[in-house]
Structure 1
Amino acid sequence: MRSSFDLTPLYRSTVGFDRVFDLLDSMGKAETGGYPPYNIERLDENDYRITLAVAGFSEDELDVELHENTLTVTGSHQEDDEDRTFLYQGIAGRSFQRRFQLAEHVKVAGASLVNGLLNVELRREIPESAKPRKISIAGEKAGNVKVLKDADAA
């Protein structure tokens, strides 16, 4: 059973965090399926890797797509062996779609398929305008106020 949190008090004291609250609300609605299994690794401060076990899928049957901040990995088999009869089928070969929510400024650096593992390389690239900057404090004299311009921000 999923418990619901009321985020209304947070909306009163924050500005511009609507997307964060929407993500928190949607976390309880996450996918419950476990196929295909995957790992999420932090390689260093700005590099990450998502590895999915996609044994039996070729590069042509896999699709990696980034739309806004949602990474979607889709695998679909082309059913060309419909006349096959299995005595036992323990290898999952079904189609799948797995979604990952990426944080702001996280970009997909590339993807590779090696030994049945799909590796999606991610990199966090924070633009200069979003990095912390020092703001100078003016003295008490009215003529001493410095106004920051767009050129100063960069």
Structure 2
Amino acid sequence: MRTEFDFGPLYRSSIGFDRVFSLLNNSQRLQAVDAWPPYDIIKNGDNEYKIVMAVAGFEDGDLDITQERNLLVVKGGKADDSKAEYLHRGIAARSFERRFELADHVSVENACLKNGLLSIDLKREIPEAMKPRKISIGGDSEASAPLQIEGDKQVA
């Protein structure tokens, strides 16, 4: 039984979606997914998101948040306290690295650690040049005249 999808036909009829198809292919190849630390992804509005991770026992200095172009990496690691003798250890303090793929134009706005929960606020800001704009249809001869790039305007 074949479980992998063939995106070849979509490549022939779409332009600029290579990254999306790569993400879909990579998501299919993921093996065992580590479920620690647990996290939530919350949508607060059309362009606002929040990631909340349960990182009990970690402090600000134990956590590292890095944003690359379309990737958010959250790492946590604690120094080993070899002096302590645990009779029972139920609070997980192992190192972790969690990666989140971000869409274009999504950036980290804020991050805070409170009551063992790491909250990361994300916002998508589409550049002005990429927002939809209204194109007017006009019959004005001055507006439809070709634009002159260089040189002085010749007077007849």
Is TM > 0.5 for Structure 1 vs Structure 2?
yes
Q: Secondary structure at the match of 2:74?
A: strand
Over aligned residue pairs, what C-alpha RMSD do you find? Answer: 2.3
Identity, % of aligned pairs? 50
Cα distance, 1:4–1:84 mapped onto 2, change above 3 Å: same
Q: Secondary structure at the match of 1:103?
A: coil
Residue-pair matches, total: 144
Displacement of 1:87:
2.1
Question: Per-residue displacement from partner, 1:121-144 (whole Å, max 9, x unpaired)?
Answer: 0001011111112234577xxxx9
Deviations, residues 67-119 of structure 1 (Å, cap 9, x unaligned): 1100000001011x213222221111100000000111111001000111000
Name the counterpart of 2:103.
103
Q: Which amino acid aligns with 1:60?
A: G
What letter matches 1:96 in structure 2? Answer: F
Q: Is the 8 A contact 1:138 1:146 kept in 2?
A: no
Say whether 1:118 aligns with 2:107.
Answer: no
Unaligned runs of 5+ in 2: 148-156
* Partner secondary structure for residue 123 of structure 1: strand
User: Aligned partners of 1:77, 1:147: CA distance in 2, in Å?
Assistant: 66
Structure number with bigger Rg: 2
Q: TM-score, normalised by structure 2?
A: 0.83
Residues 12-44 of structure 1, C-alpha deviation per residue, up to 9 Å, x if partnerless? 011111101111111123460011000000111
- The 1:14/1:82 distance shift into structure 2, 3 A limit, reads same
